[in-house]
A and B are shown apart, each in its own frame.
Chain A
Amino acid sequence: MNKVIQVEGLTKMFGDFTAVDAITFDVKKGEIFGFLGANGAGKTTAIKMLIGISNPTSGNATVAGFDVLTNPNDIKKNIGYMSQRFALYDDLTVKENITFFGGIYGLSRKRIKEKSEALIKELGLEKVASQLVGSLPLGWKQKLSFSVALIHDPKIVFLDEPTGGVDPITRRQFWEMIYKAANQGTTVFVTTHYMDEAEYCDRVSIMVNGKIEAMDTPKKLKEQFQADSMNDVFLKLARG
């Protein structure tokens, strides 16, 4: 039993509107878990509860062994997060962003130096390491965000639509990075709109109007819905 995320009946209401409606699922260690759903299905709201920046209305969830309600700060030490919106500092350079977030996570100076050199090399950003992040193309920014989310070697990394607006080649590279992280034992919790990406996941859940309507491996889901691709599965579910 290597469940790093356990969710039971997690609900978030904004007034009368139920954004997340009693979702229940778990994620195993080292898994790439695809969290799919249409726009407004409640994915981001669910993620925000799991990473401890939004309190659930009801239900339970533990992430990395800690309760989201009582121990959000312990969760934060063990997770990385990359939001839908680019959230590094445009007015700092690549190196400065890495150093800053490394510092915030309490890495030693030596470790930050090693990490930032390794990251910059891996991302092929040597030439622009001293440039302001604001001047980089979106694809590079996204890869940098992902690397920064991994800077403190978290157990779980949450990626909220990491490949939105990114070209197919960069998307491909991005997924290679995700695989690499998963191979090193990091659990990846990823949301996406691209159904071809859903095929890369170990397991996916599909959320419709705040509820999880289906959850299994892509292969089994396709069998269950008698569909050729995840795209068809998604369309069948989302149309109801």
Chain B
Amino acid sequence: MKHIYNELIIKRDSCFRGNVMKTILYIIIKEFKQIFRNKGMLPIIFVLPLLQLVILSNAATFEVKNIKFAYIDNDKSSTSRALIEKFNASTYFDLLTDFPSEAIASSAMLKGEIDVVLEIPRYFERNLQKEKHGTLGVTINAIDGAAAGVENVYITQIIQNYNKNIRTDLAQISDAQIQPITIETIPLFWYNETLNYKTFMVPGIFVLLVTMITLFLSGMNIVREKEIGTLEQINVTPIKKSQFIIGKLFPFWVIGMGLLTVGLLLARLIFNVPMVGSLALMYFYTSIYILVVLGIGLFISNFTDTQQQAMFIAWFFMVIFILMSGLFTPIESMPKWAQIITEFNPIKYYVEVMRMVMLKGSGFMDILPQLIKTLVYAIVMNVLAVWSYKKTN
């Protein structure tokens, strides 16, 4: 009896081998049908990320603008008024308020009504004329250290431009005194000449868009089949693990590439971000990058029992990946141990590559280190995903 069965199996086996691609195709078709039939998910896949791109690219800026500026003019001379007029004319400073005393200005700063107080001492004009130097008091709210630094530079520049003989005394931050500028630097800004923040942010933001959607979709996918019980039905079929995983991954890979296309179009049409490098290179790198994300997603899917668990774990990784990607804060300024962690962050490489290729026009050889690391990452994650998917408990 056993004998006959074995013979039958051998016949069937050869038939199965020819059907490997076909089997995968059946899964792919099924996945696409389910994705496009899910009226709740479609807008989430395509509309939300694009809204995100539009909103974040405009809002997430490090430029320090609209500084709430106040002054205490104890001198009330033509020199002091002219100086204040300089601040008034600057586009960075708003809401000029005149405070009669330092105490009142301090309490306004406590309430958060003002960011910067410029205090002009009595006899400021007289000292400047007679002794050829004057001193000004500047108080800056330094809770956001980075912004305070930028504000300090702006203020010093305005004052220096007004009169090179004035020294500012920066209260509370430090007592380092800014020396009169004797060496003038003329900066040349490469690749983003106008220092347009959007040019810098847009490539990074749509890295997020591609990553988030593909990670969440793949992370929830197999878990969902576990929840509704269909995975068990799949597991009693002779389908191979790799066939199943490939069939599952492919539709999300296509969606990821679709998102990249939409993102690139928007970057060009809405944000006018220059596209210096090769589009083909961008697509090539992205096609490998998405495999990393999908591998991570499926890996999460295999180790969780409910979509809720999968979602929380995906979010946990997503938050770490985003904050440590160099998208918002430069990796160079992170502590050493954190920099080592970022080596394992796929988003970091994608942000780098996107900015390099889009803005600098870097070529294949320039992004080769990132490309190799991403490729290795993709292989490792997908092998883990296939390995951790168990048809038998």
Using a CB–CB cutoff of 8 Å, the interface residues on chain A facing chain B are: 1-3, 48, 51-55, 64-66, 72-74, 76-79, 81, 83, 85-92, 96, 99-101, 103-106
Contact = CB atoms under 8 A, between A and B. Distances in A.
Given A77-B12, A104-B234, A106-B15, A65 B2 contact: yes
Given A78-B5, A91-B34, A83 B233 contact: yes
Nearest to A102: B26
Given A54-B393, A81-B236, A104-B237, A89 B230 contact: yes
Contact of B238 (A2, A3, A105): A105
Contacts of A91: 33-34, 37-38
Given A92-B30, A92-B34, A106-B19, A86 B6 contact: no
A77 B393 contact: no
Interface of B: 1-2, 5-6, 9, 12, 15-16, 19, 22-23, 25-27, 29-30, 33-34, 37-38, 228-230, 232-239, 391-393
A53 B30 contact: no
Given A54-B392, A55-B392, A81 B233 contact: yes
A149 to B, nearest CB: 9
B229 A85 contact: yes
A1 B2 CA distance: 11
Given A77-B9, A88-B233, A104-B237, 17 more contacts: A51-B236, A52-B236, A52-B391, A53-B391, A55-B393, A65-B5, A73-B238, A76-B237, A79-B236, A81-B233, A83-B232, A89-B30, A100-B26, A100-B27, A103-B22, A103-B23, A104-B23
B392 A64 contact: no
Contact of B392 (A52, A65, A86, A100): A52
Interface of B is mostly: helix
B30 A100 contact: yes
B5 A64 contact: yes
Contacts of B5: 64-66, 78
B42 to A, nearest CB: 13
A48 B135 CA distance: 85
Given A55-B393, A72-B392, A73-B238, A87 B30 contact: no
Contacts of A100: 26-27, 29-30
A168 B27 CA distance: 36
A53 B26 contact: no
Contacts of B26: 99-100, 103-104
Contacts of B228: 87, 90
Contacts of A3: 1
A87 B34 contact: no
A86 B229 contact: yes
A65 B6 contact: yes
Contacts of B16: 77, 106
Contacts of B392: 52-55, 72
B371 to A, nearest CB: 35
Contact of B236 (A53, A85, A103, A106): A53
A99 B25 CA distance: 12
B239 to A, nearest CB: 5
